[in-house]
């Protein structure tokens, strides 16, 4: 009997581990037609909790049996509320559900639809800051070469002033029509005549 009791306890424990965890007792809100819409619950979060960043999605039960098991929230978000509806009496409100929790309506049992509402997580995703490696660049030594200065003395050229010898241009005698040879002959004749005259005078003086 003890063995049977132990085996039964172990089997029950395994069932508890394998089965999805059940949610805590829900709050309730009377059902009305608007509560069937996702937009109603987005406004509900803004008006009752001052959280205007809810995103709500509705899932209808297509003849599925068993409780509804909630999955993972959208990336970067967390579950804020799941609304379970069955019949037309009240909506069950389960706050801050966890992935893997299972849900049935508390009065009607089963569920006709659920509305899951998520909101962005308060904690931002960790930011990895990459510190760039510090690179020290040593400037290359710059050698300044002074250009060679070449002084060129200007060549001194001494130019002796040119001596200009005046050119004497012979003055042409006016053409008198007398031939030069005739002039010479006439001069000789005059000289001879003068000589004869002088000789005559001297003779006269001596006599």
Burial degree of 118 (CB within 10 A; 0-12, 13-18, 19+): buried
pLDDT digits (tens, 9 = 90+) for 176-186: 555 556 667 77
Euclidean distance between CA atoms 146 and 144, whole angstroms = 6
Residue pair 78/121 in contact by the 8 Å Cβ criterion: yes
Phi, psi of 202 (to 5 degrees): -65, -40
Helix (H, G, I), strand (E, B) or coil at 13: helix
pLDDT, tens only, 112-153: 999 999 999 976 555 566 666 766 666 666 666 666 666 565
Output the CA–CA distances (angstroms, integers) from residue 178 to 170, 173, 192, 193, in the order listed.
19, 11, 21, 21
0.75 exceeded by pTM: no
Please, are residues 84 and 24 in contact by the beta-carbon 8 Å criterion? no
């Amino acid at each position: 009997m003890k063995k049977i009791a132990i085996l039964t306890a172990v089997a029950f424990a395994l069932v508890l581990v394998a089965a999805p965890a059940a949610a805590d007792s829900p709050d309730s809100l009377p059902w009305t037609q608007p509560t069937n819409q996702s937009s109603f619950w987005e406004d509900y979060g803004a008006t009752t909790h001052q959280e205007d960043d809810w995103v709500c999605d509705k899932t209808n039960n297509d003849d599925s049996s068993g409780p509804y098991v909630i999955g993972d929230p959208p990336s970067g978000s967390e579950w804020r509320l799941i609304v379970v509806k069955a019949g037309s009496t009240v909506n069950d409100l389960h706050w801050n559900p966890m992935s893997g929790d299972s849900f049935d309506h508390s009065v009607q049992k089963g569920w006709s639809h659920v509305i899951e509402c998520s909101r962005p997580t308060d904690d931002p995703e960790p930011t990895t800051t990459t510190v760039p490696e510090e690179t020290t660049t040593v400037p290359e030594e710059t050698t300044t070469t002074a250009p060679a200065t070449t002084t060129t003395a200007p060549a001194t050229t001494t130019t002796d002033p040119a001596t200009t010898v005046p050119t004497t241009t012979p003055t042409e005698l006016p053409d008198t029509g007398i031939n030069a040879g005739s002039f010479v002959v006439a001069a000789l004749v005059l000289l001879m005549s003068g000589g004869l005259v002088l000789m005559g005078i001297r003779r006269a003086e001596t006599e």
